[in-house]
Structure 1
Amino acid sequence: MPSPSSRTLDAWHGYLEQVHPVGIDLGLDRVAEVARRMGLLQKRLASRIITVAGTNGKGSTVAMLEALGRAHGLSTAAYTSPHLLRYNERLRLDGDDADDATLVAGFEAVETARQQAPVVSLTYFEAGTLAAFWAIAQRSPDLAVLEVGLGGRLDAVNVIDADVAVITTIALDHADFLGSDLEGIGREKAGILRSSRPAILGSRALPESVRGVAEGLGAPVSALGEAFTWQGDSETWRWQGTSASGGGLSLDDLPDPGLPLDNAATALQALAAADVALDPACCRRALRGVTLPGRMQWLGQWCLDVGHNPHAATYLAQRLAALPSAGRTWVLLGMLADKDADGVIAALAPAVDAWVAVGLAGERGRSAEDLAHRLQARGEQVAWQADSPEAGAAWLSERLAAEDRVLVCGSFFTVAAVLTWRQQQTA
């Protein structure tokens, strides 16, 4: 293995995947120790830090926070996971993906600190998170937006204290790590909250445990439907919220960002809680121009969305129903074995005419045959089975009518594979 100073970004990934015995190892002690050695706990990463946790809607909320911050003239950093096509997507600096040199320098800083006696073992995600934090700290931006990877309380991102904490939604997912008790999951997600610092609750249906944690910490709560809300539809909508000092705010004639309006309203409230004076023109420009690959991303007839649980699938079905099509609605579905395939199928079924079931490879992969069996058990029309998303997309592309549309969903892996396939077709 090359020395740390000569490793490429790909070499770092291979190295980090080998140095810790498990991929997910929740807990903050190891991460906090390395972060302390790196000086990340002794000074602020940014002037304002907003952390976002939740089951669904994190990525879109982060993207809108980032776009809104930049539209208001703030320098920004955004850390998210996982990525679709390139690891560099996980860290954006002033709207651009971090380059290899920035990420490699971050990994070198992490490794130097990790190897100090006593040596600390870090997972791939933990090392990547600290590398991103190091890169952010070098720039000290006006706004850093940090997306929690899994859970909240014990996630590596939570080693940094947020000025404003956002919880989007809570639903069943990652049951092997978080369990199946929504109240318990709510307490874990609420672990990102801090004493006396704003807690933005971006769903009308959060478990009571979330508010209970906030109240126990004395964290002022701004909840969707209470301290902030929105009215209208996807064409134009109005937001009402609360300033950092407690005054009323309102924004009219906001454009459709192409992402859930609950999350757009939440992003506006979080930025207001971070004491950013919201300018109507800046907000409109940001929402009109925000983009997020793999979330209701339309490429011609193809819509790609990484939704992989029943809650996300319900939203997708609603969006499709609100956009009537003269042709057939196809779904190309590929899912991991540890996801609730039956729940996703049930949520999507009312909006679907025909299905293409595709398999995902790997230790966690689910076969096309398994998906097809579940679909057929519900009386759904399975038009084709394919061993891979690429093969399913190739088959379907030859049979689409001009007025048909396709939803590609079920996993980040499914969407990434079809995105890559489409790029190769148009190259």
Structure 2
Amino acid sequence: MDFDTLFARRSTHIKPGLQRIERSYEFLKRPAARIPAALIGGTNGKGSTSGFLWYLFALNQRNIGLYSSPHLAAFSERCQLSLTPCDDRELADVWRQLQQELPPDHYDELSFFEIATLLAFQLFQKKAADFQVLEVGLGGRWDATNVSDPLVSALVSVSKDHQEYLGSDLIGIMNEKLGIMRPGRPLFWGRGGEVCEVPGYREHLLQQTAKHNVPLYEADRDFGYDAPSETIAVNLPNLPLCSLPLQKLLKKTPLFLRRNLALAAAMYHYLQQTLGDEKWKPLNEIWPLLCEGQAPAPVTLYGRSQRLLVPSTRGPVRLILDVSHNPDGAQAFLTGLASRGLETPMPALVCILKDKEMNRILDVLRSRLHPVILFGIEHERAWQPELLDVRHRDLPFYTSFQEAFQEALVRWNPADAPWAICGSVLAVGRILQHFDSAPKNGISLERCLSGDW
């Protein structure tokens, strides 16, 4: 049983509102509702933040669920469990069971994301997860994950993306994403994205959280990464201060991952202190285990400035893969390269989907990456060279990664510098598969963060 018919619902069932999933969620008797949860949203960074929080909880040797999107290679990447791995076959069984349990009038009205979210809840309940980390798919207020009842919520960043659904007004986008906060429960704000350049945005944020009685914890005030000391500090009100040095494999992470790790650490610290359960170790105690990478990596850290060493006819090629698929994500990728001491300009192979801001993304990437070769993929959302503005039509365009890669081997010497590959989650997933490096259960955190070179 494959997921093609489920994917076919992506464009035909997207409608605002939670009424449909709430109806099915209640009919199923609210699966996984008793499992404590954290809900993480934002334009960029929510995947890695979710992954780090999941990892911290997983280091307690408990079964932790992680629901994320999109996937890179296999659909089951969307539903990860730390102690009981799930593959496509098992998730297909859960899907089959869901179709049997829900009445046709319930199931038929559900969107792709609503069904995927119910599958995650069903799986986490079936596997008796001890905690669940839920990544918001799109927006927040009307996202399917928002039927959950999280103990904490996080907003990593706010920028323009999915404008066909969220609009282009950054304050309006922030309001949609703030829909995941809960009265009386904290919101962790990562202070990232284009909204931070909007005058008065913080006053608006303070008004909204105060209006809904939501305690607000902010990056660079209550937690954050200090570059000179290479330390993450967590100083939440009325909780013990934590000073966490970046050691071992964490010393190789780019700046944006360090900031997202600080956000995840603050959330873990709050939850561990407030849950009051002895099975969750204090943050200071769990931190050395994180630095050593003593648990399998979350899938959401793949393709985040991931370093990959691949063979070629001209010798080994050092690649840096990043899923940056909007202008703000592209800028974070470039900043991350600089923070790791990687010299630019750097050669790059770029693929962007046609429903993304391809010209603005290329404007950002070309400011630091050179030369650039463009490539396409076989997909309904694939871009074409004629879609580009004139200013980018000087770039060579190949219909496949294989063709672009071979051309790069002719033009560039692999020994001179690493090559960047970026612009699309879908493309990065295809490339990981091409080099037999797709996400696998049990892969080490060091492999994700430090890479092969």
The one-letter code of the counterpart of 1:396 is A
Q: Is 2:164 aligned against 1:176?
A: yes
Distance across 2 between alignment mates of 1:238 and 1:40: 37
Q: Is 2:271 aligned against 1:274?
A: yes
Listed one character per residue, the Cα deviations across residues 103-139 of structure 1 (whole Å, up to 9, x for unaligned) are 1232133213432566651122211110111111123
What is residue 227 of structure 2 aligned with on the other side?
Answer: 232
Tell me the CA shift for residue 163 of structure 1: 0.7
Q: Percent identity?
A: 27
What is residue 412 of structure 1 aligned with on the other side?
Answer: 425
Change in Cα spacing, 1:403 to 1:122, as seen in structure 2 (3 Å) is same
Structure 1: which 5+ runs fail to align? 1-7
What is residue 258 of structure 2 aligned with on the other side?
Answer: 261
Higher mean displacement: 351-360 or 166-175: 351-360
Distance across 2 between alignment mates of 1:214 and 1:364: 37
Change in Cα spacing, 1:136 to 1:238, as seen in structure 2 (3 Å) is same
Q: Quick one: which of 30, 33, 36 aligns to 1:44? A: 33
Distance across 2 between alignment mates of 1:265 and 1:249: 13
Q: Is 2:372 aligned against 1:355?
A: yes
Q: Is 2:94 aligned against 1:106?
A: yes
Listed one character per residue, the Cα deviations across residues 293-325 of structure 1 (whole Å, up to 9, x for unaligned) are 111110021011110111111111112233455
Higher mean displacement: 124-133 or 52-61: 124-133
**8 Å CA contact 2:268, 2:283 repeated in 1:** no
Listed one character per residue, the Cα deviations across residues 353-392 of structure 1 (whole Å, up to 9, x for unaligned) are 200011244433211454584425xxxx73x320122321
Secondary structure at 1:423's aligned position in 2?
A: coil
**8 Å CA contact 1:77, 1:95 repeated in 2:** no
Q: Quick one: which of 145, 152, 155 aligns to 2:133? A: 145
Change in Cα spacing, 1:354 to 1:146, as seen in structure 2 (3 Å) is same
Write out aligned runs for 1:18-167 (5 A). 18=8, 22-40=12-30, 44-46=33-35, 48-94=36-82, 97-115=85-103, 120-167=108-155
- Structure-1-length-normalised TM-score: 0.87
The one-letter code of the counterpart of 2:286 is C
- Structure-2-length-normalised TM-score: 0.82
Q: Is 2:288 aligned against 1:284?
A: yes
What is residue 3 of structure 1 aligned with on the other side?
Answer: none
Distance across 2 between alignment mates of 1:335 and 1:316: 15
Tell me the CA shift for residue 21 of structure 1: 6.8
Distance across 2 between alignment mates of 1:127 and 1:266: 29
Listed one character per residue, the Cα deviations across residues 263-303 of structure 1 (whole Å, up to 9, x for unaligned) are 11100111122135533352233245356111111002101
Secondary structure at 1:336's aligned position in 2?
A: coil
The one-letter code of the counterpart of 1:156 is A
Change in Cα spacing, 1:226 to 1:387, as seen in structure 2 (3 Å) is same
Distance across 1 between alignment mates of 2:112 and 2:386: 32
What is residue 386 of structure 1 aligned with on the other side?
Answer: 398
Q: CA RMSD in A?
A: 2.6
The one-letter code of the counterpart of 1:282 is I
What is residue 243 of structure 2 aligned with on the other side?
Answer: 251
Distance across 2 between alignment mates of 1:165 and 1:96: 25
Higher relative contact order (CA 8 A, sep 6+): 2
**8 Å CA contact 2:154, 2:188 repeated in 1:** yes
What is residue 307 of structure 2 aligned with on the other side?
Answer: 298
Structure 2: which 5+ runs fail to align? 274-280, 310-317, 438-453
